[in-house]
Amino acid sequence: MPLPLDVEAIRADFPILTRTVRDGKRLVYLDSGATSQKPRSVLDAERWFYENVNAAPHRGAHQLAEEATAAYEAARATIGAFLGAPENEIVFTRNSTESINLVAYALSNAATAKEPEFRRYAVGQGDEIVVTEMEHHANLLPWQQLCERTGATLRWLGLTDDGRLDLSDLDTVVNERTKLVAVTQQSNILGTINPLGGIIARAHEVGALVLVDGAQSVPHQKVDVTELGADFLVFSGHKMLGPTGVGVLWGRYDVLDALPPFLTGGSMIEVVRMEGSTFAAPPQRFEAGVPMSAQVIGLAAAADYLTALGMDRVQQHEEVLTGYALEQLQAIPGVTVIGPPDTVARGGAISFTVDGVHPHDVGQVLDDLGIAVRVGHHCAWPVVRRYGVPATTRATFYVHTGYDDVDALVEGVREAQRFFGVVPAVTEGGTN
Ligand code: PLP
C-alpha cells in the first residue's frame, strides 16, 4: 500500500536526516515521541527572528520591539487557528510539563487568592483529582503534588490487559467530589488513543474541569478544541517539529479568566504598587517574563508545515505504518507488543518486549545499526509496572518515517535475538 505522505520529499526538508551515525549508517530515527526532528522551515523561522526583528515582545516602543511583538502575536494566531481556538485562549509555556504545572499551581493558589473571582476553581481538603494509570509522569506528579499541597485526594482510572483505559468504574471514580480530570489523549508508551468524549461528558456532569494531555496527539492527529470539548489542552512544540523550549496551554477563556497566575513578574500585570498588584487578563496573566520569542515563531512555522501536509494525512500515514510494523513485529517469535495489538484507536508509538533480551540490550543493538529508539519506562512507570515488565523498547513514527525504517527496525530486532542467542540464527543453508 502506498504511504499517504511523500516520504522522500519530506526527508529532504530535514537537514539532520542527511547525516549518518555509527560509522556511516543511515540514521533511522524512530524516537519522535521523545522529541521530533525539525524541518528547515522551522530552523529558518528562528534564524529569521534573530537576524531581523530580535527584541523583547510587549516591551519598548522602538521598531524592532513592535515588529517582534507583531511576529509573536501572529504566531499565537497561527497556533489558535491550528487548534480552532481564539488566540486569547493560547498561553505559551516552556513545554507540556510546565503547562500542566501552571494549571495545578493556579488551582492551589486559588484557595488563598485575595481576589474572590479567583477562588471559583480552588482545590482543597475533601476534593478529588482524577488521572489515569497510563499518564506520563508530567501528567501525574503535578497532581500528586497538588494533592499534597491542598489535602485533596488523587484517584485514577485503571488499564485493561490490552492497553486501554478501564472505564467500568468511571461513574464512581469521577463523582461530585471531583474537581479536575487529567487524561492523556494518546499514550506515549502504549500508543492508545483514548475515548475522551465519555470521560469529558461525565466530568462536566459533576462540575469538574478536564485537562487533556495532547503531547502525543496534537503532533499526530487533527485536534480541534471545540470538538474536543475539554477545558484545557497542553502540548509541547518540540514533539511537533517545533523548537525545544516552547509549549502551549490552551484553556477555555472563561476558565483561564477565573484563575490566578502561576508565575508572577514582568508583563503579566495590570497595576503594580508597593502595597500590592493586579494582574493582566489572559493569556498575558500566564506569561510572566520575556517570552521564548524565537521558539514561538519556530512553533508557528512547525504548525504551518504540518497544516500544509494535512493533519488527517499525517494521521493516516502513521496508521498505515503502525499497522505494517505491528504485523511485522508480532510475527517475530518472542516479541510481545505492550499496548493495543492492532490499529484500532491507536497511534504510532509501539512498545514491545523481546523474550530473553533486556530492552536496553535491544536498544543497544539497534543503535549499533543506526536505529534510534527509546528504551526504559518512558516516564510512565506505573504502566510498565501494570504490565509486569521492567521496561520496553519503543519505536515512534512521524512524517518522515517510511517502510524502510520499519523494515530496518524489524531486521534489527531479529539481529538482537541472534546476537543474544535467543533464537536459532537462520542462514541460507538452514538453521544453525
Ligand atoms: N505527556 C506525554 C504524553 C508525553 O509523552 C510527554 C513527553 O514525552 C509529556 C507529557 C511531557 O512533555 P515535555 O517533556 O515536552 O514537557
Nearest by Cα to 384 from 137, 130, 35: 137
Q: Give the end-to-end CA distance of the chain in Å, rounded to a whole number.
A: 35
Residues 223 and 362 in one domain: no
Helix (H, G, I), strand (E, B) or coil at 134: coil
Tell how far the Cα of 192 is from the centroid of ligand 1, in angstroms: 15
Query: For a substitution probing ligand 1, which of 218, 379, 381, 398 has the most ligand atoms within 8 Å of its CB?
Result: 379
The residues with which 29 forms a beta bridge, in sequence order, are 372
Q: Are 43 and 15 in contact (CB under 8 A)?
A: yes
Q: Which of 264, 287, 307 marks a domain boundary? A: 307
Does residue 1 lie within any of the structural domains? no
Residues 201 and 55 in one domain: yes
Q: How confident is the model at residue 426 (pLDDT cuts 50, 70, 90)?
A: low
| Ligand 1 touching residue 236 (CB < 6 A) | yes
Q: How many domains are contained in the chain?
A: 2
Nearest by Cα to 375 from 355, 349, 395, 356: 395
Q: How confident is the model at residue 423 (pLDDT cuts 50, 70, 90)?
A: low
Residues 23 and 132 in one domain: no
Q: Are 306 and 323 in contact (CB under 8 A)?
A: no
Does residue 35 lie within any of the structural domains? no
For residue range 182-223, what is the model confidence (pLDDT) as tens digits? 999 999 999 999 999 999 999 999 999 999 999 999 999 999
Given the residues 28, 146, 223, 379, the one annotated as active site: 379
Q: Which domain holds residue 397?
A: 7-30+311-419
Q: Which of 264, 280, 307 marks a domain boundary? A: 307
411: domain CATH number is 3.90.1150.10
What does R_g of the chain's alpha carbons equal in angstroms? 23
Residues 330 and 405 in one domain: yes
Does residue 250 lie within any of the structural domains? yes
The pair phi, psi for residue 384, each rounded to 5°, is -65, -35
Residues 201 and 121 in one domain: yes
Query: Which pairs with CB-CB distance under 8 Å and at least 24 residues apart come from 306-311?
Result: 306/82, 306/219, 306/240, 306/241, 306/399, 307/82, 309/5, 309/10, 309/399, 311/221, 311/222
Distances 290 to 2, 63, 74, 263, 384 between C-alpha atoms, Å: 46, 17, 17, 12, 39
Residues 269 and 358 in one domain: no
Does residue 2 lie within any of the structural domains? no
| Ligand 1 touching residue 94 (CB < 6 A) | no
| Ligand 1 touching residue 136 (CB < 6 A) | yes
Q: How confident is the model at residue 60 (pLDDT cuts 50, 70, 90)?
A: confident
For residue range 125-181, what is the model confidence (pLDDT) as tens digits? 999 999 999 999 999 999 999 999 999 999 999 999 999 999 999 999 999 999 999
Q: How confident is the model at residue 291 (pLDDT cuts 50, 70, 90)?
A: very high
Reply yes or no on whether 379 is catalytic. yes
Q: Which three cell numbers stand for residue 66?
A: 513592535
282: domain CATH number is 3.40.640.10
The pLDDT value recorded for residue 425 is 47
CA distance linking residue 287 with residue 124, whole number of Å = 25
Does residue 367 lie within any of the structural domains? yes
Residues 162 and 205 in one domain: yes
Does residue 37 lie within any of the structural domains? no
Residues 183 and 267 in one domain: yes
Q: Which three cell numbers stand for residue 288?
A: 510572566
Residues 326 and 352 in one domain: yes
Q: How many CB atoms lie within 10 A of CB 270?
A: 11
| Ligand 1 touching residue 401 (CB < 6 A) | no
Does residue 427 lie within any of the structural domains? no
Tell how far the Cα of 146 is from the centroid of ligand 1, in angstroms: 19
Q: What is the mean predicted confidence (pLDDT) over 324-330?
A: 98
Tell how far the Cα of 189 is from the centroid of ligand 1, in angstroms: 11
Tell how far the Cα of 137 is from the centroid of ligand 1, in angstroms: 8
Residues 347 and 204 in one domain: no
For residue range 64-106, what is the model confidence (pLDDT) as tens digits? 999 999 999 999 999 999 999 999 999 999 999 999 999 999 9
Q: What is the mean predicted confidence (pLDDT) over 367-371?
A: 98
Pairing label, strands 178-184, 209-213: parallel
Q: Tell me what the pLDDT averaged over the chain comes to.
A: 96
Residues 290 and 381 in one domain: no
Q: Which of 285, 307, 329 marks a domain boundary? A: 307
| Ligand 1 touching residue 99 (CB < 6 A) | no
Does residue 321 lie within any of the structural domains? yes
Residues 323 and 253 in one domain: no
Tell how far the Cα of 73 is from the centroid of ligand 1, in angstroms: 25
Nearest by Cα to 347 from 186, 228, 223, 165: 186
| Ligand 1 touching residue 139 (CB < 6 A) | yes
Percentage helix, strand, coil, to 5, in the chain? 40, 20, 40
For residue range 231-270, what is the model confidence (pLDDT) as tens digits? 999 999 999 999 999 999 999 999 999 999 999 999 999 9
